[in-house]
Structure 1
Amino acid sequence: MTYLLKGGLVATWTSDNQPLTLLADVLVEDATIVRVDKQIDVGPNVQVVDCTGKWIIPGMVDTHRHTWMAIMRGSQGDWLLTEYLVKNSWHEQGDITVPEIRIGQLAGCLDALNSGVTTILDHFHAANSPEHADAVLEATIQSGARVILSMSRQSAPTQVFPHFEFANEAAADKWQWEKLEEWAGKGGGQLTEDGRVLLGFAYDLDMFNPDPALMPMHQAAIKRARALPAAVITSHVVSGPRILDWKKAGFLGPDVVFSHCNVLFQHTEVDDEMWNAMKEHKCSIASTPADELNMAHGNPVALEAVDRGVKCGLGIDCASINGGDLFTQMKVALGWARGRRNEEVVNKKLQPPQYNKHNAVDAFRLATLGGAEALNLSNTIGTIEAGKKADIVVLDADSVNLAGIRDPFKGVVFHATDADVELVMVNGEIVKKNGKLCKIEWGPVAKELRERAEAVRERWPDAKLDELWSKYYAQDPNMKL
């Protein structure tokens, strides 16, 4: 299919790292942007989309999302991170059924697309069985989103009190590697023929099993993942020296994406070893500022990473806790960076700056080109340029939120919501049109999601979860991450 997006205001960073706004037409052939120009004439077989009064921006890139957790959205937003681990990771998560995880994954992908997020690094940490894994892959492909599906090598605990037991770990280790190798064998890491869905790998076992005697196991796992090949290796870093542990173990590389990295906020020296290790090995940070602040992960480091030359993108983290859009994450990342700088000015009685150090255009970059760079996909996505994949978002600049705004970068970061997203294209396929999802009808998805989410809540009522958390907190109030 060939499309001409005609007469819109293109707002994008470019491959030579410059922001650009241009009133132009965008010609798409099959999955690729082939031309961006002020006036493009086409023949009768091209489908023309009138973009007069619209903004055309790159599809946004989420670098850290637990997509399947849409099955539990709205229930976890007031939790601390430690509370989340006990209630969800160590109890609810291992009890999720195959139909529940399938509809959660599908709904989570559609939530992203509806908000103009076209690419997701999906840290899939609920692979409870081969059937769960296949259901998530099926839903991901069905959704139309561009996804690096990163199944986590882990098993759910079979006992938490009075101490942890993982009675199913040997069996999980066996079938999860078999499943990863099965997926990789279908297309060398491409999980769809067109490369829209790629294989990634998530690994946190070294965080919960830091015993030096287990280091050969961890090293073998990372080596095996790279041999698949996994497009990305992703892992959580909140506190502690894990970045240096990975460096010492020889794990670091340009395919590594660490989510959060709040520990780096405390490392302010110019020549700090952790920051330098990230830059030297071309690793990336996936910053999720909204829940990092709300759940007591620590302070976000997104724009500081950019200042230090470390690749960084944004993410929403848990679809159970945050909405699927990156508009919120852009605002929070920018607001936090500005607030931190202004606090230093006040506390240290410094001369007030003449201008803000970071601006809307910088936050916009985090959500588009920055995210693409973090995932090593900037040669194919992240900008509106000829030769890139046609992952495109069109916003209605005459909407209630956006009318009257001249600068689309400021408009996207400070004013836009998913209600302004009129059209979304992924890999040249339109998945949202005229403000509504069109590849998959939302109504039946919403109905099933509502029914299955209620079933989860019935099995895990708040009172039951609070009892578990209180019991654990009484046992270990100083839980370290």
Structure 2
Amino acid sequence: MTKYLLKGATIATCIQGSKDARVHKADVLIEGNIITRIEENIAPASGVEVIDCHNKWITPGFVDTHRHVFMTVLRANHCDWLLTEYLVKMSWSVQGSLTPEEVGIGQLAGCLDALHNGVTTILDHYHAALTPAHADAALKATVESGARVIWAPARQSQPTEIFPLEFGKEAETAAWQRKKLAEWGSNGGNLRPDGRVTLGLGYDVISNGPVSAHQEFLAYARANNVKIFTAHVVQGPTILRWRDAGVLGPDVVFSHCNVLAERTAPDDEMWKALKDSGAAIGATPEDELGMAHGNPVEHEALKRGVKCGLGIDCTSANSGDIFTQMRTGLQWARAHDHERIRLNKVTPPFHNKYNSVDAFRLGTLGGAEALNLAHLIGSVEVGKRADLVIFDADSVNLGGADDPIAGVVFHASSEDVDTVFVDGEIVKKDGKLVRDWAPVAKELRKMADAIRKRWPADVLEARWKKWYDANGAPDLTSI
């Protein structure tokens, strides 16, 4: 059993069962994959590797509740696109041409990108399960990466034509995905022997076909050990569809949920459905604000007691870290609150309504709660798994800061992440990934260049214009 003693650190963590955070000096003992002691002045014992953490901060590993990991192979391709434009150009065009090798390298690079940024847990909505080979390639890379992942292949097929939009392989795809779901769930839903990768399911098709078919399939998935279900909600009634079908529960995470932004009534039926069922939100404020989803809702969710965490969404369009999500969401919530105060000519508050602890909680324990993993991860507490991030508090970005929570939320970046543990294993050390990044980068570049050559920007723009001229923008009220 590998043992580590982290000596002399400042620990910053939210505490399970509390809205508060705790910052204190202590040593942390890790035995195997478990945090076994958090005390001052723990004496080093034989067989324990000591890591000097003086002038360092220890936080929980960050939790990402909505990411499309494979899209790292398309990095920087979609940064200026609207969501509607993305659907036509990427989801209905580029995605269908990707090879298993391309999604595989995107998956591996995306998981390593997360680890580099201190993101130790990911809910991966994997919507490129085009064939069994594509699914197997992505799963293999996920397991190999060392990240903690709920891998959620999507129950959907790729369009066979977009002028008009047709899904000619739906029956065939549904059949093999159903069969593979039983295979993946056969070991209790554990896709890696140590349980670090578990089975989820992306399910965006609930508006298609009879309700009874969805009830049957979701029951089948639950019987085959799917741990988490995830679905996109932008401006549509998806939450109520799940509720009315009787399939909404605490194992469901809805990404975005921008439709809730202006639903302010205390007993609003969508908010109530989430709270009553225990379902959660995976908010992605950077992406939502940039691609015209609508306004973010994570801080409203906190206020209402609805489970909520943060996420990246598309790594092809957004940063791969939770730091950006924490500060973007927090500052937007503050700005929106200030705007309402000015418009309504209300007396300004004595303090900001939302603070650094709120954002930090969303990025750590809040995400763990959303994924039903708070008993294992999300805070630095005895008995929990050793998913930890060690920050260099003397770095250029953090030097001189005495509040690690505000420091992490407002000033930190990947360069300040010194060490990352996942399940007691060191995956980043001395500021560098343990896994050799150079060959991954080489293969990533090769695959990315091939995709861009296959889909030149002018070809994609022409497809988008053709669609827009014929149909207008896709209707987000259906999503």
Q: Same fold (TM over 0.5)?
A: yes
* Aligned mates of 2:30, 2:223 — CA distance in 1: 35
* Aligned mates of 1:79, 1:480 — CA distance in 2: 16
Structure-1 residue corresponding to 2:463: 468
- 1:74 aligned counterpart, secondary structure: coil
Pick from 122, 125, 131: which aligns with 1:123? Answer: 125
- 1:44 aligned counterpart, secondary structure: coil
Pick from 383, 389, 393: which aligns with 1:387? Answer: 383
- 1:119 aligned counterpart, secondary structure: strand
* Aligned mates of 1:33, 1:102 — CA distance in 2: 33
Q: Judge conservation of contact 2:4–2:51 (CA < 8 Å) in 1.
A: yes
Pairing 1:185-200 to 2, within 5 Å after superposition: 185=186, 187-200=187-200
Structure-1 residue corresponding to 2:440: 445
Question: Greater CA deviation, 240-249 or 452-461?
Answer: 240-249
Q: Judge conservation of contact 2:6–2:28 (CA < 8 Å) in 1.
A: yes
**How far has the Cα of 1:478 moved from its partner?**
4.2
Structure-1 residue corresponding to 2:238: 242
* Aligned mates of 2:176, 2:300 — CA distance in 1: 40
Structure-1 residue corresponding to 2:271: 275
Letter in 2 for 1:371: G
Structure-1 residue corresponding to 2:214: 218
* Aligned mates of 1:227, 1:68 — CA distance in 2: 27
Pick from 301, 322, 325: which aligns with 1:326? Answer: 322
**How far has the Cα of 1:179 moved from its partner?**
1.2
* Aligned mates of 1:265, 1:323 — CA distance in 2: 23
2:262 aligned with 1:260: no
Letter in 1 for 2:179: E
Q: Judge conservation of contact 2:30–2:37 (CA < 8 Å) in 1.
A: yes
- 2:396 aligned counterpart, secondary structure: coil
Pick from 49, 52, 55: which aligns with 1:50? Answer: 52
* Aligned mates of 1:476, 1:218 — CA distance in 2: 29
- 1:299 aligned counterpart, secondary structure: coil
Pairing 1:174-185 to 2, within 5 Å after superposition: 174-185=175-186
* Aligned mates of 1:167, 1:240 — CA distance in 2: 25
Letter in 1 for 2:63: V
Pick from 297, 305, 308: which aligns with 1:309? Answer: 305
* Aligned mates of 2:385, 2:139 — CA distance in 1: 22
* Aligned mates of 1:166, 1:311 — CA distance in 2: 34
Structure-2 residue corresponding to 1:74: 76
**How far has the Cα of 1:479 moved from its partner?**
2.1
**How far has the Cα of 1:174 moved from its partner?**
1.0
Q: Deviations over 1:420-444 (max 9, x none)?
A: 0000000000000000000x20000
2:380 aligned with 1:423: no
**How far has the Cα of 1:44 moved from its partner?**
2.4
* Aligned mates of 1:29, 1:136 — CA distance in 2: 31
* Aligned mates of 2:405, 2:413 — CA distance in 1: 13
Root mean square deviation, CA, Å: 0.8
Pick from 38, 59, 62: which aligns with 1:60? Answer: 62
* Aligned mates of 1:8, 1:16 — CA distance in 2: 24
- 1:235 aligned counterpart, secondary structure: strand
* Aligned mates of 1:178, 1:478 — CA distance in 2: 36
- 1:205 aligned counterpart, secondary structure: coil
Letter in 2 for 1:447: K
Structure 1 moving runs of 4+ over 6 Å:
none
2:371 aligned with 1:370: no
**How far has the Cα of 1:42 moved from its partner?**
2.5
- 1:269 aligned counterpart, secondary structure: coil
Letter in 1 for 2:56: K
**How far has the Cα of 1:476 moved from its partner?**
1.5
Structure-1 residue corresponding to 2:86: 84
Structure-2 residue corresponding to 1:455: 450
Structure-2 residue corresponding to 1:168: 169
- 1:55 aligned counterpart, secondary structure: strand
List runs of 5+ in structure 2 lacking aligned partners: none
* Aligned mates of 2:206, 2:380 — CA distance in 1: 39
Letter in 1 for 2:149: V
- 2:326 aligned counterpart, secondary structure: helix
- 1:147 aligned counterpart, secondary structure: strand
* Aligned mates of 1:219, 1:183 — CA distance in 2: 20
* Aligned mates of 1:129, 1:478 — CA distance in 2: 29
Please report the TM-score for the alignment, with normalisation by the length of structure 1. Answer: 0.98
Q: Deviations over 1:91-121 (max 9, x none)?
A: 1111100111110000000000000000000
**How far has the Cα of 1:223 moved from its partner?**
1.2
Aligned residues: 474
**How far has the Cα of 1:242 moved from its partner?**
1.5
Letter in 2 for 1:448: E
* Aligned mates of 2:428, 2:46 — CA distance in 1: 23
Pairing 1:332-371 to 2, within 5 Å after superposition: 332-371=328-367
* Aligned mates of 1:388, 1:422 — CA distance in 2: 21
* Aligned mates of 1:453, 1:183 — CA distance in 2: 29
Structure-2 residue corresponding to 1:408: 404
Structure-2 residue corresponding to 1:137: 139
Question: Once the two structures are aligned, what percentage of the paired residues are identical?
Answer: 56
Pairing 1:87-98 to 2, within 5 Å after superposition: 87-98=89-100
Q: Deviations over 1:383-419 (max 9, x none)?
A: 0011000000000000000000000010000000001
* Aligned mates of 2:406, 2:456 — CA distance in 1: 42
Q: Judge conservation of contact 2:228–2:251 (CA < 8 Å) in 1.
A: yes
